[in-house]
Amino acid sequence: MHLYGTQTVDEKGHLTIGGVEVTEIVSQYGTPVMVYDTELFKERASGFKETFEKKGMKAQVAYASKAFSSIAIYQLAEQQGLSLDVVSGGELYTAVAAGFPRERIHFHGNNKSREEITYAFEEQIGCIVIDNFLEIDIIKEIASERKQKMNVLIRVTPGVEAHTHDYITTGQEDSKFGFDLKNGQTDQAFNALLDHEFVNFLGMHCHIGSQIFETDAFKFAAEVLMEKMMEWRTVHQFICPVLNLGGGFGIRYTEEDHPLEPAVYVEEMAEVVKSMAGEYEYPVPEIWIEPGRSLVGDAGTTIYSAGSTKEVPGIRTYVAVDGGMSDNIRPALYDAHYSSAIANRMNEPHDQQWTVAGKCCESGDKLIEEAFLPRVETGDLLAVFCTGAYTYSMASNYNRLPRPAVVFAEKGQHQLVVRRETYEDIIKLDLPLHQQAKEISQ
């Protein structure tokens, strides 16, 4: 059985995370509960930062917070010296509430509204990553009206096909994101921004996909963007001070996944930039990266309680848990695979095949199609590993299920960072039918 980060199995056969028994977390906060190993988050953050430091390269490591957005994780990212990638007014608002340094916030998104862009100006954030021509117009207008400078990057699609699931690949030419590099859109965007009094053009951004295991695609993307930067130097005498190479570094969800150490991806990309800059005597740009999954993915584990079981003779045996697609949509959405264990009986052989089902009214609400577990008893604690990214942030109240609690665990201490939703929370936006409408229908 593969354990992640600080996870251990103690003498009672219980899973521990951050030095805390999962059973203790459950007795305090109930289930389902998401437990983050914050030491693993810190280790990854410093691994990325040190990779650039060792190479003597200036860099910003921005946590792509769509992976898991909350005040506490933003504060942890801040403490680790990370920057922050936000993609909506809501994520920006969370960052502001967390007291995140505004100059280290980068704002992404393919359809930012005028209100969201104005909010970014009001908060004087560090950079807007422009995605389309409408946004160029809006930013120029707002910057001129407010007479306020704004740093910008443009997001480009370098046409690199990363080998990953189609739905989570965003770097291909047929993408809803960014300006195409090959058909001239990128040059058009560059020309539209270059000489604006209040717009400070920093360079290009690309994000070629997610859960990528090989370094070639990243290196190729870096090369393609560096070539464009050299062209702009020749044609416009313009030097880009920044190159943002996005995120997408793969992690191990199951034994089928064989990622490299996250910092290795960065090491190799940075090397391409450094050596090309040396070869062409181009000033080495500051590199920005945006890891999401590789910072929080395997740091997170969801603990469920096992409920009913059902045997379909000769086919499969189901065990249903007290959550499901409402707290983790990824298996239903992307056919994502996870590994699991019985957290209160870790030492028993995990050799029986089960299908872990959620409790939502959807046949497709299965968390794990083929899970190897001991004989599961009602009340057992089922740990699903590697659930830290794109789960809570995509969670819904489908079937009006309250969203789980989120807990940070480290060095034997634990802290609630998102409380469990209550039934009151679930109806808090609902308004009753008007009296008049009631009378009409009677």
Ligand X SMILES: Cc1ncc(COP(=O)(O)O)c(C=O)c1O
Contact 71, 98 (CB under 8 A): yes
Q: Shortest approach of ligand X to residue 340 CB, angstroms?
A: 22
Q: Shortest approach of ligand X to residue 47 CB, angstroms?
A: 14
**Nearest residue to 296 via CA among 38, 13, 18:** 38
Q: What is the rounded CA–CA span in Å between residue 55 and residue 439?
A: 73
Whose Cβ is closer to ligand X: residue 67's or residue 383's?
67
403 binds ligand X (CB under 6 A): no
49 binds ligand X (CB under 6 A): no
Catalytic choice (127, 240, 361, 386): 361
One-letter identity of residue 219: K
Give catalytic status of residue 361 as yes or no: yes
Burial 388-409 (b: 16+ CB within 10 A, else e): bbbbbbbbeebeebbbbbbbbb
Strands 352-357 and 366-373: antiparallel
**5, 203, 247, 402: residue in contact with ligand X (rule CB under 6 A):** 247
Annotated binding residue 39:
no
Q: Shortest approach of ligand X to residue 291 CB, angstroms?
A: 5
Provide the mask over 179-218, with x wherever binding to ligand X is found by CB under 6 A and - wherever it is not: ----------------------------x--x--------
Whose Cβ is closer to ligand X: residue 207's or residue 414's?
207
106 binds ligand X (CB under 6 A): no
Per-residue 3-state assignment (H helix, E strand, C coil) for 81-137: CCEEEECCHHHHHHHHHCCCCHHHEEECCCCCCHHHHHHHHHCCCCEEEECCHHHHH
CB neighbour class for 431 (10 Å; exposed up to 12, middle 13-18, buried from 19): exposed
**64, 199, 222, 357: residue in contact with ligand X (rule CB under 6 A):** 64
**293, 330, 359, 403: residue in contact with ligand X (rule CB under 6 A):** 293
How far are the Cα atoms of 216, 277, 285, 402 from residue 30, in angstroms, in the given order?
44, 54, 48, 12
Residue ranges binding ligand X (CB under 6 A): 64, 67, 85, 108, 170, 207, 210, 246-249, 290-294, 389
Active site positions, annotated:
361
Binding-site residues for pyridoxal 5'-phosphate, in ranges, read 248, 290-293, 390
